[in-house]
């Protein structure tokens, strides 16, 4: 449904012919056949607001249900098809109020979109005057929405580009710089070039532009932001256009004083709008469970409706002869004539027509106010997140932000976290730390600086760092396309080769000029960048830096002659850098002869101006010169961990949340980052997919099929106890899997987990093979579920999204997933996960703009989940179960009454009082959702395993709903039959001044006693009282009595007789005058229901406690909490819930295994199996101990953090 909705909401690209645009600069513009430049992000307008918003509301199952009930009520009231026991207005008006409140909320949010659109569309834009009589260079100001194709726009430094433009002129000569963080999240600068004729811009300056004739043909509007194709004709020459001449709407001009561009696309035709799409519609796990509960309740409602109809037919067939006063068999001779005359004009209903009658009567089985209550609670819970100072990043002045309030409770149910590395776990603040040169590793310092000061291979390396880049200096330092480039330029400056200026001809380094003849840019396919330069000595050289595997493929016979020890020595240096978590680049250069230079430049410029297959021709030209590089060394850049990352990962692991790190880094770098972040610990064994040295093989699967088979056997052996061993059953439970790894789809992750296994998977080989292969996907998921952590290396953004989707959709345990990242390359996985969290980092706001929640640093994930997530889940679970509970009681009391009224479908509640039941009890659920705290945040921080409440769905599930239904049936029996026995048997005793009790007096006593019983139940459910609880309880009590008195004491005149019931007049005070009324409604009924509630709670706490109950006792200091830890000393362990509870009974009936502790495959059992395999076989299947790290990568974190010191696994297996 979500994918269909996304497709429906996305603007489809309609095939069009290429566009032609003829422009006379400074002349009038006729673009009437093009759209305006206004942007519209709003959903509604005055004409479509009501129908469109109503359609949105009717997508909810409960709203559809109550609309059906209203239609049935109207039919039963105003037709003779069947009888409606309730007036339709008593349900229709509350439903309309609820819908209108929700629609008003939607409208309020949409008004903000209208206001935002108005601000954007009315922003001034400067263009060259279109009045032919104006002097050259004169400008005029328009509103942005009035721009049209053909206008020549004047843009200043740091101004946002108002439409899609073709760049004509730049104050910086043949280049301009733009920042696209608003589009793709990248804060680096991109170089743009104006359209050139013979290396000169078409327009020399704004003052000389007037009357210039331009004719352009370009591609139709589309959503591709990285490409553009077209041709510009000026001065009788054709100029090919590509992305380098194309300025996107929403990008910002930087480091360029002024630029001119002709408008190509406007409004809905711009790339930004065409590429935009709404964030996919996500149905929260909580809403999914609520929908299941609604279906469960509807099923129960249909059952009791059918039972009531059958009971009516049976009762009627046995008593029909005596019902002449109800117009049955009224033609008999012994029936008085008066009755016969009345009955001849009365409605007669068939027995089968009572089914809709009962269905209407029991309509309150589903609480009508549930969704409004949930939305109000979600809104306040979101404000708690927004205003939590614990999640405020004071360094960058970034507070937490809940962008999607309906996902709050799902934060307490997270089973898997998928995290980016750079900028998420690390700071994305790069610093040049070391380099490898001439066979040595140099630290950044005086020794290296001395080598650079004189001609040497070290100087050649630093020269590449200082010259081969696209960095632009500005008043704040440097503006770079990537943090790595900035780090290298700064590192070169510290070593004595400072980059100081960039011009149209080249760069200036340490006072010397380098002429840049051509720049071959970096991209994700090339993984390298090259620059052809002419140095101060007049020689031409090609300088290059890139990934090691790419650079080694561009070497020749003697490429490593300047690196002592050759290729093996350099590989060893790169391994040392990776082991300490440093990012590496290999640098190379080569002198270029004049003929080779001229040949390349000719081919390169021809490729740049090609109108067909430009990308392919550029690649062919680059291949002419990017070859036979002389490797001068490698650089190592450090990206430090963010504050608190190790502690956060450690605490989340203790909460039984599995963390996946998805990164594009090399395997060694990713492993060492994960080790420093405490994701991988010394007591873990690594499982690598594919195994080191694996080849693609004849099957083309890198041996993964055979490797997974071997690993499954290893897990089985490690999980199966030695038959000769004599151990107790309790210790066996704690140290081994109860059953080997098998194909049981009901197996939970907890029963297949180990604290001592971690999976490392490589993207370009393993994930490329696994994704899309159904069998390998399932086997991969089984292995991943056994492991404590997963690290995926060398994965692309698309693979990140596919991995998240694989776990979300194909894991049989249906885990709730969370993805967290900070860059545009993380948007796919953020949108794919159940919950997306964006970090306001160095890579723009694209991740934040597509997320459900935004935080400043990774460490804030701990309070977001353990405090807000757990608390929101427990609060909302209590609200939902209580809401259904009270309405089940209300409906079953009516069901019992039918036995006393001949199953006639009569209600003994006044219709409006009956409909007001949810309103009279509306404030207690709000109090639960806003204020209730079962366990303090300090206790949860100390014992993260308390997060299990939501992780294992302990509070909100169908089993709990069945449990609550049974208790609700018991409470309804007490409420009805206690009141019935008191009022019915000695009825004449309870009369007052000769006034006898009737249906309404009895019904009012039952109703008020029931409301008071539900209020007392709510009071007993409260875990933490405050003044607001007392206010809310008082307001509910006041609302109940005020409404009952109003309904019964206001005389129903003709103007309000549609609302008030004549039969109910005077009932309130007549009831209040009876002493038994107060005895029943305030003491007998509420106390009896409370006694039942306390009995159930007492039995549960005494015999079937779970971790939540222990958490509350911990909060009050009644237990020491040791049983909540995974103790390795005495194997003590408290299960999530007792196997003898109702949940355990249901699990056993359904054949489901009871959840077990996650520490099941022990370190000793894995070591024993690996020792039996031998080093060679273990290496073949990718099993090895966690390598020791030579670098404490977590030094940026709080030094006071100390993780438990497990026993270290020794050696490589």
Mean pLDDT of 913-938: 89
Greatest Cα pair distance in the chain = 130
Q: What percent of the chain has pLDDT over 70?
A: 83
Query: Cβ neighbours of residue 263 under 8 Å, at least 6 residues apart?
Result: 37, 147, 148, 149, 150, 151, 152, 153, 163, 164, 165
Q: Measured in whole angstroms, how far is the alpha carbon of residue 1009 from the centre of its chain?
A: 44
Distance CA 762, CA 1065 (A): 78
Mean pLDDT of 197-205: 81
Residue 720: burial class (beta carbons within 10 Å; 0-12, 13-18, 19+): middle
Contact 413, 872 (CB under 8 A): no
* Strand 189-192 to 252-254 pairing: unpaired
Half-sphere exposure of 105 (CA within 13 A, CB side): 11
Torsion of CA 1146, 1149, 1152, 1156, to 10 degrees: 60
Distance CA 453, CA 457 (A): 11
pLDDT at 236 exceeding the cut of 90 = no
What pLDDT sits at residue 626? 94
- For the segment 963-1012, what is each residue's pLDDT rounded down to a tens digit? 899 999 999 999 999 999 888 765 555 555 655 667 888 899 999 999 99
Would you give the end-to-end CA distance of the chain in angstroms? Answer: 49
Distance CA 1132, CA 1130 (A): 5
What pLDDT sits at residue 732? 28
More confident residue, 137 or 1135: 137
What pLDDT sits at residue 726? 32
Query: 749 falls in which pLDDT band (50, 70, 90)?
Result: very low
More confident residue, 1030 or 672: 1030
Query: Which residue is it, tokens 């948007």?
Result: 827
Neighbour-count burial for 133-168, b at 16+ CB within 10 Å, e otherwise: eeeeeeeeebebbebbbbbbbbbeeebbbbbbbbbb
Half-sphere exposure of 926 (CA within 13 A, CB side): 21
Q: At what angle do helices 370-386 and 89-121 cross, to 10 degrees?
A: 40
Q: Measured in whole angstroms, how far is the alpha carbon of residue 1088 from the centre of its chain?
A: 45
pLDDT at 330 exceeding the cut of 50 = no
Contact 821, 425 (CB under 8 A): no
Bond from prior residue into 690 cis (ω within 30 degrees of 0): yes
Mean pLDDT of 603-622: 84
Distance CA 1062, CA 187 (A): 72
Structure-token pair, residue 810 = 């194909």
More confident residue, 690 or 1200: 690
SS3 content of the chain, % helix, strand, coil (to 5): 50, 15, 35
Distance CA 657, CA 416 (A): 6
The phi-psi region of residue 26 (left if phi > 0; otherwise alpha if psi is between -120 and 50; otherwise beta) is left
What pLDDT sits at residue 881? 93
Could you tell me which of 745, 742, 749 has the C-alpha nearest to residue 815?
749
Name beta bridge partners: 124.
Answer: 143
What pLDDT sits at residue 1089? 97
Candidates 420, 460, 484, 932; catalytic one = 420
* Mean pLDDT, the chain, whole residue set: 81
What pLDDT sits at residue 711? 86
pLDDT at 1043 exceeding the cut of 50 = yes
pTM of the model: 0.74
Distances from the Cα of 666 to the Cα of 396, 523, 579, 642, 1164, angstroms: 30, 17, 11, 20, 30
What pLDDT sits at residue 986? 55
Among 559-573, 831-845, 1146-1160, which stretch is predicted with the lowest mean pLDDT?
1146-1160
Distances from the Cα of 497 to the Cα of 123, 454, 477, 494, 509, angstroms: 44, 11, 15, 7, 6
Half-sphere exposure of 126 (CA within 13 A, CB side): 12
Query: 1203 falls in which pLDDT band (50, 70, 90)?
Result: very low
Distances from the Cα of 439 to the Cα of 248, 580, 899, 1012, angstroms: 46, 19, 96, 84
H or E segment and range at residue 1167: helix 1163-1173
pLDDT at 740 exceeding the cut of 70 = no
572 labelled catalytic: no
Contact 214, 23 (CB under 8 A): yes
Query: Cβ neighbours of residue 400 under 8 Å, at least 6 residues apart?
Result: 385, 386, 388, 391, 392, 853, 854, 855, 856, 860, 864
What are the two backbone dihedrals, phi and then psi, of residue 441, each rounded to the nearest 5 degrees? -105, 125
Distance CA 710, CA 1115 (A): 47
Distance CA 1170, CA 1212 (A): 10
pLDDT at 1188 exceeding the cut of 70 = no
Residue 571: burial class (beta carbons within 10 Å; 0-12, 13-18, 19+): middle
What pLDDT sits at residue 746? 35
Name beta bridge partners: 519.
Answer: 531
| DSSP characters over 447-458 | HHHHHHTSSSHH
Distance CA 144, CA 153 (A): 11
pLDDT at 705 exceeding the cut of 80 = yes
| DSSP characters over 252-314 | EEES-SEEEEEEEE-GGGSHHHHH--PPPP---HHHHHHHHHHHHHHHHHHHHHHHHHHHHHH
Contact 708, 779 (CB under 8 A): yes
Query: Which residue is it, tokens 């850049």?
Result: 637
What pLDDT sits at residue 1204? 33
What pLDDT sits at residue 1202? 31
pLDDT at 735 exceeding the cut of 60 = no
Could you tell me which of 1206, 1181, 1054 has the C-alpha nearest to residue 1126?
1206
pLDDT at 339 exceeding the cut of 80 = no
DSSP-derived 3-state class of residue 316: helix
More confident residue, 1080 or 698: 1080
Distance CA 957, CA 1049 (A): 44
Residue 131: burial class (beta carbons within 10 Å; 0-12, 13-18, 19+): exposed
H or E segment and range at residue 1176: helix 1175-1180
């Amino acid at each position: 449904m979500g994918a269909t909705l996304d497709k429906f909401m996305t603007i489809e690209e309609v095939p069009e012919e290429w566009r032609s645009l003829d422009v006379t600069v400074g002349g009038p513009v006729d673009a009437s056949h093009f759209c305006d430049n206004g942007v519209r992000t709003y959903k509604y307008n005055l004409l479509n607001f009501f129908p469109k918003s109503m359609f949105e509301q009717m997508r909810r199952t409960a709203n559809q249900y109550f609309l059906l009930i209203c239609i049935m009520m109207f039919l039963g009231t105003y037709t003779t098809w069947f009888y409606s026991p309730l007036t339709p207005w008593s349900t229709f008006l509350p439903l309309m109020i609820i819908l209108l409140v929700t629609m008003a909320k939607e409208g309020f949010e949409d008004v903000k979109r209208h206001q935002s659109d108005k601000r954007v569309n009315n922003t001034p834009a400067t263009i060259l005057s279109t009045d032919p009589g104006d002097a050259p260079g004169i400008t005029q100001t328009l509103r942005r929405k009035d721009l049209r194709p053909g206008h020549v726009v004047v843009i200043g430094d740091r101004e946002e580009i108002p439409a899609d433009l073709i760049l004509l002129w730049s104050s910086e000569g043949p280049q301009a710089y733009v920042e696209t963080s608003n589009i793709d999240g990248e804060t680096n600068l991109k170089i743009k070039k104006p359209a050139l004729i013979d290396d000169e811009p078409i327009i020399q300056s704004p003052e000389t532009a007037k009357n210039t004739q331009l004719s352009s043909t370009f591609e139709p509007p589309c959503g591709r932001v990285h490409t553009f194709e077209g041709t510009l004709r000026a001065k009788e020459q054709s100029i090919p256009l590509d992305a380098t001449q194309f300025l996107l709407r929403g990008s910002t001009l930087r480091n360029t004083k002024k630029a001119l561009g002709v408008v190509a696309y406007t409004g809905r035709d711009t790339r930004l709008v065409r590429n935009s799409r709404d964030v996919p519609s996500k149905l929260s796990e909580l809403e999914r469970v609520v929908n299941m509960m609604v279906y469960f309740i509807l099923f129960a409602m249909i059952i009791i409706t059918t039972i009531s109809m059958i009971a009516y037919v049976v009762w009627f067939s046995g008593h029909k002869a005596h019902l002449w006063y109800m117009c049955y068999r009224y033609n008999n001779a012994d029936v008085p004539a008066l009755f016969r005359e009345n009955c001849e004009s009365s409605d007669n209903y068939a027995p089968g027509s009572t089914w809709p009658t009962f269905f209407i009567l029991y309509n309150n089985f589903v609480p009508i106010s549930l969704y409004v209550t949930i939305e109000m609670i979600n809104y306040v819970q979101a404000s708690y997140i927004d205003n939590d100072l614990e999640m405020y990043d004071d360094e960058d002045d970034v507070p937490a932000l809940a962008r999607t309030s309906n996902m709050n409770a799902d934060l307490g149910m997270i089973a898997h976290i998928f995290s980016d590395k750079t900028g998420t776990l690390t700071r994305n603040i790069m610093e040049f730390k070391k380099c490898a040169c001439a066979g040595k590793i140099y630290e950044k310092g005086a020794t290296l600086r001395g080598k650079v000061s004189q001609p040497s291979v070290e100087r050649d390396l630093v020269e590449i760092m200082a010259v081969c880049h696209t960095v632009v200096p500005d008043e704040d330092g440097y503006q770079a396309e990537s943090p790595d480039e900035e780090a290298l330029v700064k590192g070169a400056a510290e070593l004595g080769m400072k980059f100081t200026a960039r011009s149209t001809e080249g760069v200036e380094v340490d006072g010397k000029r380098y002429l840049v003849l051509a720049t071959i840019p970096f991209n994700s396919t090339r993984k390298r960048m090259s620059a052809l330069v002419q140095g101060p000595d007049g020689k031409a050289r090609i300088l290059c830096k890139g990934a090691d595997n790419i650079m080694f493929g561009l070497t020749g016979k003697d490429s490593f002659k300047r690196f002592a020890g050759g290729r093996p020595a350099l590989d060893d240096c790169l391994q040392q850098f990776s082991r300490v978590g440093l990012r590496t680049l290999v640098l190379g250069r080569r002198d270029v002869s004049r003929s080779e230079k001229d040949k390349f430049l000719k081919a390169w410029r021809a490729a740049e101006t090609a109108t067909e297959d430009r990308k392919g021709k550029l690649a062919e030209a680059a291949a002419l010169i990017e070859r036979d590089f002389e490797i001068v060394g490698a650089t190592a850049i450090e990206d430090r961990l963010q504050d608190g990352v190790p502690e956060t990962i450690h605490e989340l692991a203790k909460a039984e949340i599995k963390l996946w790190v998805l990164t594009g880094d090399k395997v060694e770098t990713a492993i060492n980052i994960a080790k420093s972040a405490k994701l991988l610990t010394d007591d873990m064994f690594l499982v690598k997919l594919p195994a080191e040295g694996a080849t693609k093989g004849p099957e083309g699967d890198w041996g993964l099929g055979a490797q997974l088979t071997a690993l499954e056997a290893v897990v089985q052996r490690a999980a199966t106890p030695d038959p000769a061993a004599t151990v107790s059953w309790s210790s066996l439970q704690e140290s081994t899997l109860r059953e080997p790894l098998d194909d049981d789809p009901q197996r939970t992750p907890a029963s297949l987990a180990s604290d001592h296994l971690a999976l490392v998977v490589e993207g370009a080989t393993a994930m490329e093979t696994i994704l899309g292969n159904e069998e390998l996907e399932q086997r991969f998921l089984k292995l991943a579920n056994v492991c404590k952590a997963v690290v995926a290396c060398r994965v692309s953004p698309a693979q990140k999204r596919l991995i998240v989707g694989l776990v979300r959709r194909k894991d049989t345990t249906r885990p709730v997933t969370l993805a967290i990242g900070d860059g545009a390359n993380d948007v796919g996985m953020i949108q794919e996960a159940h919950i997306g969290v964006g970090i306001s980092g160095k890579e723009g706001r694209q991740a934040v703009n597509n997320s459900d929640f935004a935080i400043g640093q990774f460490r804030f994930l701990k309070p977001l989940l353990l405090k807000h997530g757990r608390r929101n889940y427990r609060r909302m679970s209590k609200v939902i179960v209580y809401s259904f509970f009270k309405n089940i009681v209300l409906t079953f009391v009516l069901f019992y009454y039918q036995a006393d009224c001949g199953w006639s479908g009569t209600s003994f509640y006044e219709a409006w009082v009956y409909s007001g039941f949810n309103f009279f009890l509306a404030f207690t659920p709000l109090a639960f959702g806003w204020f209730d705290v079962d366990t303090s945040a300090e206790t949860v921080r100390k014992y993260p395993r308390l997060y299990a409440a939501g992780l294992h769905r302990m509070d909100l599930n169908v089993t709990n709903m069945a449990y609550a239904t049974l208790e609700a049936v018991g409470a309804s029996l007490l409420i009805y039959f206690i009141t019935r026995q008191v009022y019915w048997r000695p009825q004449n005793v309870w009369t007052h001044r000769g006034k006898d009790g009737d249906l309404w007096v009895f019904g009012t006593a039952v109703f008020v006693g029931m409301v008071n019983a539900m209020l007392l139940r709510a009071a007993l459910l409260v875990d933490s009282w405050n003044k607001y609880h007392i206010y809310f309880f008082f307001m509910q009590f006041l609302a109940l009595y005020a409404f009952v008195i109003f309904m019964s004491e206001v005389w129903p005149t003709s103007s309000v007789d549609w609302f008030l019931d004549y039969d109910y007049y005077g009932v309130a005070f007549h009831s209040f005058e009876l002493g038994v009324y107060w005895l029943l409604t305030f003491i007998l009924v509420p106390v009896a229901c409370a006694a039942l509630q306390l009995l159930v709670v007492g039995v549960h706490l005494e015999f079937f406690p779970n971790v939540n109950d222990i958490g509350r006792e911990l909060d009050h200091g009644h237990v020491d909490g040791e049983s909540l830890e995974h103790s390795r000393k005495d194997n003590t362990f408290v299960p999530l819930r007792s196997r003898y509870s109702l949940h355990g009974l249901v699990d056993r009936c359904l054949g489901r295994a009871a959840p077990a502790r996650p520490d099941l495959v022990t370190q000793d059992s894995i070591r024993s199996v690996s020792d039996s395999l031998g080093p060679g076989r273990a290496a073949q299947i990718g099993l090895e101990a966690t390598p020791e790290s030579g670098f404490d990568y977590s030094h940026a974190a709080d030094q006071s953090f100390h993780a438990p010191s497990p026993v270290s696994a020794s050696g490589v297996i």
